[in-house]
Structure formats: structure tokens, C-alpha cells
Amino acid sequence: MLSFIGRRVLIAIPTIFVISVFVFMLQKLLPGDPVLALAGEDRDPETLAALRELYRLDDPLVVQYAHWAGNALRGDLGISLRTNQPVTELMLAKLPVTFQLAVMALIFAVGIGIPMGILSAVRKGTWLDYIANFTALSGLSIPNFWLGILLILLVSVNLGWLPASGYRAFSVDPVRSIETMLMPAFVLGTALAATLMRHTRSAMLTVLKSDYVRTARAKGLRERVVILKHALRNALVPVVTVSALLFGELLAGAVLTEQIFSIPGFGKLVVDAVFNRDYAVVQGIVLVTSIGFICMNILADTLYIVLNPRLRYTP
Amino acid sequence: MSMSSPIDRAGPVAPRAERRRSRVWGKLRTRPAALFGGTLVVVFLVLAILAPVLPIPGYAETDWGAIRLPPSLAHPLGTDHNGRDLLSRMIWGAQASLFAGVVSVVIAVCVGVPLGVIAGWRGGWTDATISRITEALLAVPFLILAIAFAAFLGPSLTNAMIAIGLSATPVFIRLARGQTLAVKTEDYVESARAAGVGQLPTLWRYILPNIAPPIIVQATLTVATAIIAEASLSFLGLGQQPPAPSWGAMLNTAKNFMEQAPWMAIWPGAAIFLVVLGFNLLGDGLRDALDPRET
């Protein structure tokens, strides 16, 4: 198992190298002199010279990259031009907020997606299956920022049940924190629920046709036991691994959801950075999210093998 | 008199493609969901194309006496905070959204498919290099990648389309590579090579037509993703710039007037939902219709 993980990590290294080159080269897309863009409003010659020195812009491209990548490897992703804080520090401060949103969204996604997938597979070809499929496809087609707006209109503006904004950290005020996160987590969770539902349905349909399910039924077990104990346990193997791969979708969704509900997380950080032309922050976020996604991929592969004894890796 | 190879003369691709087209249409016709999706797409496409000739007010025409009016006979979908007719802005917005969705996918297909075919056909170092770059780009979450491109290129609809197109490219590289690997060992390709057909004609006449079906399906489904991505970028202020309308940008404005004019938020979102649902249903239908296991 360890050698399997080690091999996956080794394979990931060239990918991370290519991503780092890509993220570094993003800066070169800036039209005109990058120093002018990086300096923003502050155009005095001293600042420009300091930035030129900081990013080694007079050096050849390869040297610039080596300098940037060397710093990144030590955890130094540059300084935010807007707040003057290190980018790594800024991201670490926002991470718990997005993590809370992601965990709550996953709870919604699993709570809605998996039962819907099971029902849809067990009742294949019935009206329940059609409704579940249509709901899942709608969940995939609905722009989550619109769903967020509709929920604010209904739940906050008309019914006054939940606040539309005003996030508090979980450590400061847990009740208020959960209250403000309920709607955003639901919005983010619905798209993921749709994906989970489709995967659960497809995995359950495959498992329900297998010999061991037929045997379980032939033994006279109750249908409920056959489905929940024999079929679901095996069908969940691919679903669990898919959940790990939903990380990318979760982050992309968080960008928009945090914007609508004014949640000061990772997503809001990247959007604010774009508008403040805080390019070091944008680069840092792209790099870190990509590496996070690669780690989740490795986790998904490992989980797949851990959960499925037939695939247990033999080196 | 020019000499042609036996395979050239037999022309196996054209009749096969024709047969496949009629088979696909025959199957699509029996799928109500796919037909419904196709109809939704066609309705929005027709509205978008006819926008300049329809008897509607200009999308930027303001009427200060008609600010934030609810739907009425004069303004069937109401008006916005500048007194502009929402029906007109919705129809012109359809043009921006569909155009952005289709152009982004055209960019992704035009860049991704040739790279994927080259990777699959050549193998070796070419394949390894293209595949590593593809894997790296696939590791960056789609919207984050599009936001990063849009941020560095500058906010505009054109840059949003380039950003979305480039972000969607890796999927097409991977798909075209896999399909080429599968097709290049087929007998008809090997016969063509043995008959002396050059590399480019082989790719053009024998590989491309045979890897097309899954690419068409993926393109249809990616248009749906691209429309949502464009709406997301415009919603964030990184796509279409005012006063030109786009559904995402309209939603961005609407969120500031949710209590006073909720209809401003309802129509653009509903339109995005319907058109994306249309492309998803059509894509699912096409996938089933083009799947040989379904015959």
C-alpha cells in the first residue's frame, strides 16, 4: 500500500512542476510592463525598482522561475499588494471558513444524493426514477449563484427564517456560524448531490444485477436487508472515491457561493484579488488549489483500493 | 489520370457517416427528453439570431419613467433599475451567452482535438509531453482556471471566451487522444497506411470521422458548462461589460435589487437554467444514440 502511494506521489511530481510553470507564466499574460500592473496605483520609481528587484524581472525567464519556485517550495508565495501580508498567511486565514462551508455542503450532498440514487436504482423505470433523474439533471443545470439568489429571496427576504449574510467564525459563535452557513452549504451541496445521485444510481444498478445480491434474495432475506446491507455496501465504493474527486467542483462552487452570501473564505479571496489586481494572491490560489486537487486524486485512488479488497494492490 | 488507392475509391467513411446520421436521428426521435432539450436549444438559438430584427426596444434604451416596473403588457418581463426593457435584454443576452458558449467550445475543440490526435497518433515523447501538460491543466479546477485566465487577460466577453475555451481544452485533448489510440489500430486505418495514404490524409479521412461521435457528445455537454462558466464570470464582473447585456451580468445587477424588483433576478437565471438543461438533455440523448452498445 505504501509503495502504491509512493508511486502515485512520484507520478504527481511532474504534474505539479508543469502547473508551477503554468502559474508562473500567467504573469506573462499581463499586457505591457508587468511591474506597472503589479504596482497598481503606486507608480513611484522606487516601488517599481523594488518590484523589479523582488521578482528578478531583469533576469532571464528561467532564473525568474527558479527564484519564484524556490520561494514557493519554502511556502513563500509572495506578498499581497493590497494588504501587504504574505499570501500564504492570507490563504491560511481563509481556509477554515471555506473548509466549514465545504464540510456542510458535503453533508447536504451525501444526505440528498445517496438516498436519491438508491431509490432511483431500486425503483428503476418508475415515475420515482424519472423524477429523481430529472431533479439530478436540473441540479446540474441550475447555476448555483441563481439558486442562492432565489433562496435569499424566499428564505431571508420573504420568510425571514435565515440571515442572508453576516458570517461569524465557528469558534466565536457556533450557532450563528451554522445559521449563516446553512443556505450557502445547501446551494453548494445541490450540484454535488446531483453528481452523487447519478454515480450512486449507476453503481447500485450494476451491483443489483450481481450474483451475490441474487443469492441474498434467494436465501429469503428481506429486500431492505439485501439493498442496505449487501448491495449498498459494495455500491458505495466508487461513490466514496467520486466524493474525493468533487473537491474541484466544491472549490469552484465556493467562489460563487461565497460571493453571494458575503462569506469571507477562499473563493471571496480570489475574486477580491482579481479586482484588486493582486496577482500574487491569484497565482497562490491557483497553485494551492491545484496541488490540493492532485492530493485528493491520490486520496481517491488510495480509498478505492482500501475499500475494495478485490483491488488490493500487490506490488 | 490520377491514381487513387483502393481505399480511396471505396470511400468507406462517407456512406458509414451517412448511415450513422440517419441511425442517430432515428434514435433521437424516440427520446422525448432529448427532443425536449433540442427544442429548448433551438428556441433560444432562434431568439438569439433574430434579436436584431425582432420588434423589441434596444437593449440599452433607457426610460427613466419606467424604472423597475413589474411585468406588464408594455414590458412583458418588466424593466430594470435603469428603465430598460428586460425582454429585450434577455433576448440580446441570449446572443451573448450562446455565442460565448459555442465560441468557447469551438476554441477548445480546435486546440484540443488536433493536439489529442497528434498525441495519440505519434506516441512517444510527443504523447508524453502533451499528456503531462493536459494532466496538469486538468488538475486546476475549471472555474478557478477560467478566473485566473480572465484575471490576467483582463475582463471582457472576448477574454472570457478565450479563458473558458482554454480551460475546457484539456478534456478534448484527453478524449481525442484516447479515441485516436483506439481507432489507429483498426484494420481500415492500417489498410490505408499500407496502401500508401499519407499521414495527414489518413488522419483527416479515417481518424477524424471515426473519433467524431464522442467529441460531438462532449462538445454538446461542454457548451452547457461553458454557458454556466460565462454566466459565472459575467456575474463576477469578469465577462460581458455593461451596458451590453449578458444573463450573468444581469444577475449580478439584480442581486442589489432583490427586495424592490425580484423579477430582475428571476428571468436571467431561468434562461440560463433552461438553455443549460437543453444542452444537457440533448448531450445525454446524443450519447445514448451514438453508443453502439445501444443498437
DSSP secondary structure letters along A236-289: HHHHHHHHHHTHHHHHHHHHHHHHHTT--SHHHHHHHHHHTT-HHHHHHHHHHH
pLDDT digits (tens, 9 = 90+) for A217-244: 898 888 888 888 888 888 887 787 777 7
Considering A132-141, B6-15, B39-48, B204-213, the range whose residues carry the highest mean pLDDT is: B39-48
Neighboring chain A residues of B232 at a CB cutoff of 8 Å: 143, 145, 255-256
Question: How many residues does this entry show for chain A?
Answer: 315
Instruction: Check residue A84 and give its pLDDT.
Output: 83
Residues 6+ apart with CB under 8 A from A172: none
Instruction: Check residue B267 and give its pLDDT.
Output: 94
pLDDT digits (tens, 9 = 90+) for B249-271: 999 999 888 888 989 999 999 99
b vs e for B260-285, b when ≥16 Cβ sit within 10 Å of the residue's Cβ? Answer: ebbbbbbbbbebbbebbbbbbbbbbb
Q: Look up residue B85 and give its DSSP letter.
A: B
Question: Would the CA dihedral through B176, B179, B181, B184 be positive or negative?
Answer: negative
Residue B80: exposure state from Cβ atoms within 10 A (0-12, 13-18, ≥19): buried
Please state, in angstroms and rounded to a whole number, the distance separating the CA atoms of residues A38 and A279.
7
Contact B252, B81 (CB under 8 A): no
CA angle (B191, B195, B200) in 5-degree steps: 85
Question: Would the CA dihedral through A290, A292, A294, A300 be positive or negative?
Answer: negative
Neighboring chain A residues of B272 at a CB cutoff of 8 Å: 143, 146
Contact A284, A277 (CB under 8 A): no
Contact A263, A184 (CB under 8 A): yes
C-alpha cell at B178: 484516447
Side chain identity, residue B7: I
Angle between helices A144-151 and B208-236 (to 10 degrees): 30
User: Cα-atom radius of gyration of chain A, to the nearest Å?
Assistant: 24
What's the predicted TM-score (pTM) here? 0.85
Selected residues 133-172 of chain A with any CB under 8 Å from a CB in chain B: 137-138, 140-143, 145-147, 149-150, 152-153, 157
**Mean pLDDT across chain B:** 87
pLDDT digits (tens, 9 = 90+) for A268-297: 899 888 888 788 899 999 999 899 888 888
Side chain identity, residue B287: R
Neighboring chain A residues of B237 at a CB cutoff of 8 Å: 275
Contact B277, B40 (CB under 8 A): yes
ipTM of the complex: 0.84
Instruction: Check residue B291 and give its pLDDT.
Output: 67
Side chain identity, residue B8: D
Chain-chain contact of A286 with B145 (C-beta, under 8 angstroms)? yes
Chain-chain contact of A153 with B258 (C-beta, under 8 angstroms)? yes
Of the candidates B99, B72, B95, B77, the residue with the CA atom closest to the CA atom of residue B270: B77
CA distance B180 to chain A (A): 23
Please state, in angstroms and rounded to a whole number, the distance separating the CA atoms of residues A11 and B26.
45
Instruction: Check residue B234 and give its pLDDT.
Output: 92
Q: Look up residue A32 and give its DSSP letter.
A: S
* Residue B34 clears pLDDT 80, i.e. is over it: yes
CA distance B4 to chain A (A): 45
* Residue B65 clears pLDDT 80, i.e. is over it: yes
Neighboring chain B residues of A252 at a CB cutoff of 8 Å: 141-144
Q: CA nearest B136 in A: which residue?
A: A15
A15 touches B: beta carbon within 8 Å: yes
Please state, in angstroms and rounded to a whole number, the distance separating the CA atoms of residues A118 and A233.
11
Strand partners, B79: B85
Query: Counting one residue from A and one from B, how many pairs have CB atoms under 8 Å apart?
Result: 134
Of the candidates B77, B40, B85, the residue with the CA atom closest to the CA atom of residue B273: B40
Please state the rounded mean pLDDT for residues B220-234: 93
Q: Using CB atoms, pick whichever of B136, B148, B280 lies closest to residue A141.
A: B280
Chain-chain contact of B273 with A142 (C-beta, under 8 angstroms)? yes
Q: Look up residue A154 and give its DSSP letter.
A: I
Peptide bond into B243 cis (omega under 30): yes
CA angle (A117, A310, B293) in 5-degree steps: 55
Chain-chain contact of B255 with A140 (C-beta, under 8 angstroms)? no
B254 touches A: beta carbon within 8 Å: yes
A68 touches B: beta carbon within 8 Å: no
Please state, in angstroms and rounded to a whole number, the distance separating the CA atoms of residues B208 and B117.
8
Torsion angle of the four alpha carbons A74, A75, A81, A83, in this order, in degrees rounded to the nearest 10 = -130
How many CA within 13 A on the CB side of residue B196? 4
Of the candidates B34, B38, B91, the residue with the CA atom closest to the CA atom of residue B268: B91
